[in-house]
Amino acid sequence: MEPTRSVLDSGALPNDHEDARLIRLYEEQGGEVRDLIYLSLGETWTAVAPGLAASLTDPLPAHVHGYTLSPYGLPALRDGLRAYITRTHQLLGAGAAPYDVAVSQSGTRAAMSDFGRLLLSDGAPSDGAPTALAPAPGWDYSGVLTPLGYRMRFYTLAPAQGWQPDPEEVASLLKRAGRGCLLVLNPQHNPTGANWAADRVESIIGAAAAHHAAVLLDDAYYALHAPGEQPTNALRILVEEMPRTSAPWLATRTLGKQFHCNGWGLGALTSRPAILAELARYTQERSYGCALPLQAAMATWLRKEEADAFLEGLRREYAAARRQVADRLRRDLGFPPDAVHVGTCSAYLRFRVPTRFVRDGSEAHYRRLCVAAGVLPGAGSMTVPADAPSGRLGPPAAYVRLFLGQPGHVLDEALDRLARAGLGW
């Protein structure tokens, strides 16, 4: 794991990040952190798109070292992102509703939080906290929305259905949630790698419109799919469907995942102009804009054919890594086929923890054993375990996920370490 101190060290200050805690434990037990293979978050710290990094050395306009008076991001990047989103989501002529695009300037997580605040400012339901419906397993939407006062409820993604959402279940939850509900969608799904079927997404968005529910579309991995696959274009469905209702909606798409520049905090926000204007008020509560030199470099990069070529190469690399890791989990570590969901999108592969390593329905014990072997996998879900659905599906299984962005020989070494430690099936 390199560079360790440069990204981990908090000095004497506390660091509650679970991965940081596990890494410190590894150190305390005599492990050499430089040898730890980190496969938890979608991060390498070394694989930024070369052309994008090179764009930082190009002469930058003097004005990008000052404030921007536009709350929607540096105008050059805002305009470039609008063209990019329109092109990559095939939005030209799609639907009658107006939409526009703004820059997410401090990470899409912050934009999600701002959207949640905006919905609350429109009035909370009279019977108490508003409801947010999110997929389980899933990303840490609870960590964003619960502090704002939302009551989290989850719709189930089951392995027997290929980790696809059930439109009837979502419609039922929307009906029970009532006024002020926020529906979260993540069609190129983290952590399972499943691409949700277009007809299911269309049905769910139609139900949201019928119940006047707000929609938050997390499009973090829209661009990261297997070569030749057509990812479900939920944004286009939103643009076509939501004119039937005045309910607010927001689509977030990070650029960090597809260009390996998570630390830049840049992405695209797509919505109705009125929603973007309301969100901009929250942006200006914090700052007059940030990272403008990075925004200028990204604006230059997005205009280059090299950006599309890098992304296409990344898709091929992830697809090859999926095949490699899935094959070795099954062949060399003895995992049955149904314990490994290969997926076709996102940057991860998820597999079921062998039953003998599961404690209290959690993957935590297995993760600690993996760390002792010199490998740090990610948790199989970032939803709150106590809130995750089980019920009709029986006892919840435990899972971990592996980030696929490391070189092939590093992934092989990680799997060799797990095999030597007896952490296979």
Residue 387: which pLDDT band, with cuts at 50, 70 and 90?
very low
Read off the pTM.
0.94
Q: Which of 245, 214, 238 is nearest to 145 (CA)?
A: 214
pLDDT, residue 6, reads 79
The packing angle between helices 234-241 and 198-210, to 10°, is 30
CB distance 209 to 242 below 8 Å: yes
pLDDT confidence of residue 422: 98
4-59 pLDDT, tens per residue?
Answer: 677 888 888 988 889 999 998 898 889 888 899 999 999 989 899 999 999 998 88
What digits encode the pLDDT tens for the residues 129-186?
899 999 999 999 999 999 999 999 999 999 999 999 999 999 999 999 988 899 999 9
pLDDT at 258: 95
The residue-averaged pLDDT of 286-294 equals 90
Q: What order do you get walking across the sheet with 267-271 strand by strand?
A: 100-104, 267-271, 249-254, 214-218, 182-185, 131-136, 151-156
Q: Whole-angstrom Cα distance, residue 99 to residue 145?
A: 25
Looking at the chain, the whole-number percentage of residues with pLDDT higher than 70 is 93
pLDDT number for residue 97: 53
Tell me the pLDDT band of 127, cut-offs 50, 70 and 90: low
Q: What is the mean pLDDT of residues 243-254?
A: 89
Give yes or no for a cis peptide into 3 (omega within 30° of 0).
yes
Average pLDDT, the chain: 91
Distance CA(380)–CA(389), nearest Å, equals 14
How confident is the model over 216-224, as a mean pLDDT? 97
What is the arithmetic mean of pLDDT over 197-221?
96
Does 3 score more than 70 pLDDT? Answer: no
